[in-house]
Amino acid sequence: MRVTRRGILIGGLVGGGLAVGWLLRPRSFPLPLQPGPDEQAFDAWIKISRQGVVTVAVPQVEMGQGITTLLPQIVAMELGADWRQVAVEPAPVSAHYANTVLAARWGEMWLPAAPRLVEQPEDLVTRRWAEDNRFNVTADGTALAAYEAPARAAAASTRALLMQAAAERWGVAWEECTVADGLVRHGEQTLPFGALAEAASRLDPPDVPPLQPVAPAEDPSDFPPGAELAFPRLDLPSKVDGSWTFAGDVRLPGMLHAAIRHGPIAASSRLETIDEARGKEVHGFERIVKGETQGVAWVAALASNGWAAETALERMQPLFRFAGGVDSAEVETALDTALRDGHAHRVFGQGDMDLTGGALPVQLRYEVTPALHAGIETAAATARLEDGLLELWIGTQAPEAAKRMAAEAAGLSPSQVVLYPMPLGGSFDRRLEVALAGQVASLARDAGRPVQLVWSRAEEHRAGFPRTPAVAVMAGRPDTNGGIGAWRARIAVPASAREFGRRLIDGDTSAQAIAAVDGEEDALVLEGAVPVYAIPHIEIDHVPARIALPTGRLRGNAHGYTAFFTECFFDEMAHRHQKEPLALRMALLGQTPRLAECLQRVASLAQWDGGANQSGQGLACHALGGGYIAAIASVRREEGGVKVERLSAVADIGRIVNTDIARQQIEGGLLFGLGLALGCSTRYVTGRPQIETLGELGLPTLKDTPEIEVAFVTSDAEPVDPGELGVAVAAPALANALFSATGLRFRRLPLFSEEL
């Protein structure tokens, strides 16, 4: 058995003595920011140059969610900086940026023996584990929750130091100074940040950061669509003019380009044959390299340019021999068998379980098929190995795991790997997987030259781990007052989150991960399954299903299908018992007023007509991570089908830091959810996806995109990332709208586009 950090930790917690030593040992981490010749560094977050430029370190990968604007905006508002002089620097991997919020949320992945010990980010075990593992992972919309407080504290301390430096020059009390627009003021006297930075860096910060009395926020009513922005996105100009640099844009002297082919991810495979002579006919071709990463065999062609590498590999026609390639029919059979005969784990129970058991009056089956990420940018990375140092240019959501994977592949220690974090052109959790880092490191080691590896779209699909398939039987019983008295959900789904955790944290192969979690309860794969409604008797059961298809994370994750199950079933319950869907929801949301307000406002925004037959309107709502959303889809029947005309949504995401980015995230989530509702899926034959291009995925195109209306509820609650909310409600709102327009119920994702 491989000795892992997780295993040692679990043993220590059980044994006691080791755990105490691990918890109490002193901690000291070097500051990660390296100031330039004319810069001063303040803590792990801020640098100020002699010219007054404020550079903010961002420890989360930018993948379209706007984090390279949100965190700098928080610093700028707390510091009193001029937004025109704010810059961004991707932060290196460091224990200073440990994402304890995500570590707590994923506790059952890394401490399955005692996840209740690490439920809170402030728990000592959580913090120590996250720091030890330099857990800078970007996922689950945790950036604000994890990093707003330390970024604000650093900015407040820096502001105090600048005020102290100015006060010393003026001979006044520093508390009498003010800061705004990049200037420290006292009466008529002013000094810019740049003139004070060096002196400020030599002073001791206050013990308690003097935070501004009001947290960074914008009133959404001040920024309707099209309004001038107070804090426009910092990454927008470079994305418009093409100067924004991704991993595939890196160019190094003497660099080779690589193309790759993978064996099936769901099978034990090896390269059987390859006609290298055909590759040598291509001008620029150099050589092939064979390898295996996390149990998946691959072969790559190296050439002087990307076209030559891909052409040579295509001509060489690599053939893999494998055993155990999974078919979609086998996956569906395994899910059906688990749903019917499998042992269920009670994830949630409320009320009298005798009233939720047995044959309830309404029992309906729903299912979802594997969903692909379909990101615009395919996997790309560049590596250079010289003098025992591996440099790695890569866009990744898990930088420390990528470093470790690359180090293992190159025969180095992680301390010999320098990772340059690159932005991503949309990840949707695809870049939580780190096999790419190991592949490019292997290529650079074998070639003895810098190598850039870019996956083709077909390889992106072949080597990708889809969102898990799932099957649910939803059952309910109305009560005597016209509401819902009992509710049961029995959901057959693999322990996909734990499987992913075994790959990410323990370095397991796909087969090892699937075997390790076989039969285990996984609460994360049922997130969002507990209805928000006031139903007295509720039973939510997870039936672990073992399937041979490896699965992973995807934007929205479990909420993308549990909301579909819940909201579609609720709608069916309402219609079967002749209840107006909005009225029934409102009647059962007395304990959730924030969601009720979203429902009321979206009904007004979309001019809800009661969901009557032929109206073409469908409703859905959901709660996720402390945020709330309600959406109405409006469809119109046309000759040969129906068209999605409009998606209307109202969200309560607490205090909003940047209204424009929040709106973009809701809009993007709704469109992503629409893509999942209409496509993004493929069937598998002998371990291979049948769809290998974007064009075949049934994604909505620009001409298919409906009008989107988004409004926000003004709130002073803690801020919530909005990026996943729209994903959850889009599919059930559309399915309910299709029933209203056509009288047909669609209980499978993706919805059958050939029948629309």
Angle between helices 559-576 and 725-742 (to 10 degrees): 30
Q: How far apart, in whole angstroms, are the C-alpha atoms of residue 727 and residue 218?
A: 24
Q: For position 13, what pLDDT does the model report?
A: 44
- Residue 38 tokens read as 């004319």
Q: For position 754, what pLDDT does the model report?
A: 41
Q: For position 26, what pLDDT does the model report?
A: 57
- As a whole number, mean pLDDT of residues 425-441 equals 97
- The pTM assigned to this predicted structure is 0.94
Minimum mean pLDDT among 267-271, 447-451, 581-585, 622-626: which range? 267-271
CB neighbour burial string for 546-568, b if at least 16 within 10 angstroms, e if fewer? bbbbbbbbbbbbbbbbbbbbbbb
Query: What single-letter DSSP state applies at residue 371?
Result: B
- Label residue 25 by pLDDT band (50, 70, 90): low
Secondary structure E strands in 294-411: 296-303, 319-323, 345-350, 362-368, 380-386, 389-394
Q: For position 14, what pLDDT does the model report?
A: 40
- Provide the mean pLDDT of the chain: 93
Q: How far apart, in whole angstroms, are the C-alpha atoms of residue 749 and residue 731?
A: 8
Write the burial class of residue 302 (CB in 10 Å: 0-12 exposed, 13-18 middle, 19+ buried): buried
Q: For position 501, what pLDDT does the model report?
A: 97
- Domains 33-98+133-216 and 328-371+466-755 equal at CATH topology level: yes
Check: CATH 3.60.20.40 for 258-320+380-462? no
- Dihedral sign for Cα 553, 557, 561, 566, please: positive
Sheet holding 39-42, edge to edge: 39-42, 46-49, 54-58, 86-90
- Label residue 31 by pLDDT band (50, 70, 90): confident
Q: Domain residue spans in the chain? A: 33-98+133-216, 258-320+380-462, 328-371+466-755
CATH architecture of 328-371+466-755: 2-Layer Sandwich (3.30)
- Residue 659 tokens read as 């209204």
- Residue 519 tokens read as 């039969």
Q: Is the pLDDT of residue 537 over 90?
A: yes
Q: Beta strand pairing status for 319-323 and 417-421?
A: unpaired
Q: Is the pLDDT of residue 372 over 70?
A: yes
Q: For position 400, what pLDDT does the model report?
A: 98
Show the 3-state SS of 419-464.
Answer: EEECCCCCCCCHHHCCHHHHHHHHHHHHHCCCEEEECCHHHHHHCC
- As a whole number, mean pLDDT of residues 417-436 equals 97
Q: For position 613, what pLDDT does the model report?
A: 73
Q: Is the pLDDT of residue 86 over 90?
A: yes
Q: Above pLDDT 70, what percent of the chain?
A: 96
Phi-psi region of 666 (alpha: psi -120 to 50; beta: other; left: phi over 0): alpha
pLDDT tens for 227-251 read 999 999 999 999 999 999 999 999 9
Backbone angles phi, psi at 549, to 5 degrees: -85, 120
Q: Is the pLDDT of residue 12 over 60?
A: no
Angle between helices 435-447 and 399-410 (to 10 degrees): 30
pLDDT tens for 708-740 read 999 999 999 999 999 999 999 999 999 999 999
Counting DSSP H helices and E strands in the chain, the numbers are 23, 28
Residue whose pair of structure tokens reads 């910060």 in the numeric block: 205
Q: For position 27, what pLDDT does the model report?
A: 65
For domain 33-98+133-216, the CATH class is alpha beta
- As a whole number, mean pLDDT of residues 339-367 equals 96
Q: For position 366, what pLDDT does the model report?
A: 97
Q: Is the pLDDT of residue 3 over 70?
A: no
Higher pLDDT, 225 or 454: 454
Q: Is the pLDDT of residue 279 over 60?
A: yes
- Label residue 315 by pLDDT band (50, 70, 90): very high
- As a whole number, mean pLDDT of residues 390-417 equals 98
- As a whole number, mean pLDDT of residues 84-102 equals 97
